[in-house]
């Protein structure tokens, strides 16, 4: 297999999942089939339009990127859906007859457990409200370190846009480290160093927005944004376990 990486000259709206690559159209001409990620991303939209015109099959895996769907037309342009879970398929309204769930995998050799010491709690993922990192920080016991390996800038509209800043304020006075983007080669050692790996995703965010709605939100006027902050009060977070 030969991998050819197309250089991005920028990102639409500054979003890391919206790269602008002028060479994409030329690269697609050599393809027999196309698999895109993020149904609503700019590269996926360009790919599905060009390849449908050439009668090239296009399949998509989505990871929750918000955006418009051209009044419902966009999903119908894809030949197949390969969601990472049944929940993702439901959120996308993916047609069952054209959908196959492909669960995310991991390399059992590269990510095998180690014999060294383990300390504290680790979170790896995006700094976005439905990941529930605010709950994790609030539940952190005194004397326990939390390491957060993640990137921000994934939410263009307020109030979600301010989520990274909210986390910084919540972390004040606690043993919380924001590691930023961690290279793939460093992840196995990072996982092996943690006593607990936390996945605190929530169905309703700290802003009172239901996750299924927020993932489909197209602009600040959507229901997900209008209802921000009006949801039921968050339940008291469970205490996170871990050793320093």
Please calculate the CA angle 126-23-14 and round it to the nearest 5 degrees.
Answer: 30
Look at 186 and 243; give whichever has higher pLDDT: 186
Stretch 44-66: mean pLDDT? 93
Asked whether residue 62 carries a pLDDT value surpassing 90, the answer given is yes
Nearest to 78 by CA among 93, 96, 60: 60
Instruction: Give the model confidence (pLDDT) of 201-234 as tens digits.
Output: 998 999 998 875 434 433 333 333 333 333 333 4
Domains of the chain: 10-98 (3.40.50), 121-226 (3.40.50.2000)
Stretch 16-29: mean pLDDT? 92
What pLDDT is attached to residue 228?
31
What pLDDT is attached to residue 15?
83
What pLDDT is attached to residue 148?
98
Looking at the chain, list the stretches that DSSP marks H as alpha helix, in order from N- to C-terminal side.
24-28, 42-53, 86-92, 133-138, 163-171, 187-192, 211-216, 223-226
Q: At a CB cut-off of 8 Å and minimum separation 6, what does 128 contact? A: 154, 155, 160, 163
Q: In the sheet where 146-149 sits, what is the strand order?
A: 176-180, 146-149, 121-124, 196-197
State the pTM of this model: 0.71
Q: How confident is the model at residue 86 (pLDDT cuts 50, 70, 90)?
A: very high
Cα–Cα distances in angstroms (integers) from residue 208 to residues 69, 76, 110, 131, 225, in the given order: 24, 31, 38, 14, 9
Q: Are 128 and 163 in contact (CB under 8 A)?
A: yes
Tokens of 2: 């030969």
Look at 149 and 154; give whichever has higher pLDDT: 149
For residues 157 and 155, what is the distance between their CA atoms, to the nearest angstrom? 6
What pLDDT is attached to residue 212?
58
Q: At a CB cut-off of 8 Å and minimum separation 6, what does 189 contact? A: 114
């Amino acid at each position: 297999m030969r991998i050819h990486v197309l250089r991005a000259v920028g990102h639409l709206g500054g979003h890391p999942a919206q790269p602008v690559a002028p060479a994409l159209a030329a690269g697609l001409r050599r393809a027999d089939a196309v698999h895109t990620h993020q149904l609503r991303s700019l590269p996926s939209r360009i790919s599905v339009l060009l390849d449908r015109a050439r009668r090239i099959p296009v399949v998509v895996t989505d990871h929750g990127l918000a955006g418009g769907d051209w009044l419902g037309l966009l999903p119908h342009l894809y030949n197949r859906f390969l969601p990472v879970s049944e929940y993702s398929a439901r959120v996308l309204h993916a047609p069952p007859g054209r959908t196959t769930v492909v669960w995310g995998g991991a390399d059992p050799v590269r990510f095998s457990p180690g014999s060294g010491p383990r300390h504290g709690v680790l979170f790896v993922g995006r700094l976005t409200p439905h990941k529930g990192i605010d709950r994790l920080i609030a539940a952190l016991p005194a004397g326990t370190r939390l390491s957060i390996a993640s990137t921000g800038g994934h939410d263009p509209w307020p109030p979600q846009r301010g989520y990274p800043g909210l986390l910084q304020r919540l972390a004040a006075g606690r043993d919380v480290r924001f590691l930023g983007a961690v290279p793939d080669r460093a992840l196995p050692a990072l996982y092996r160093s943690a006593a607990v790996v936390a996945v605190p995703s929530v169905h309703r965010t700290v802003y009172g927005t239901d996750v299924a709605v927020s993932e489909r939100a197209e602009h600040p006027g959507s229901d997900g944004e209008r209802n921000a902050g009006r949801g039921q009060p968050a339940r008291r977070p469970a205490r996170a376990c871990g050793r320093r």
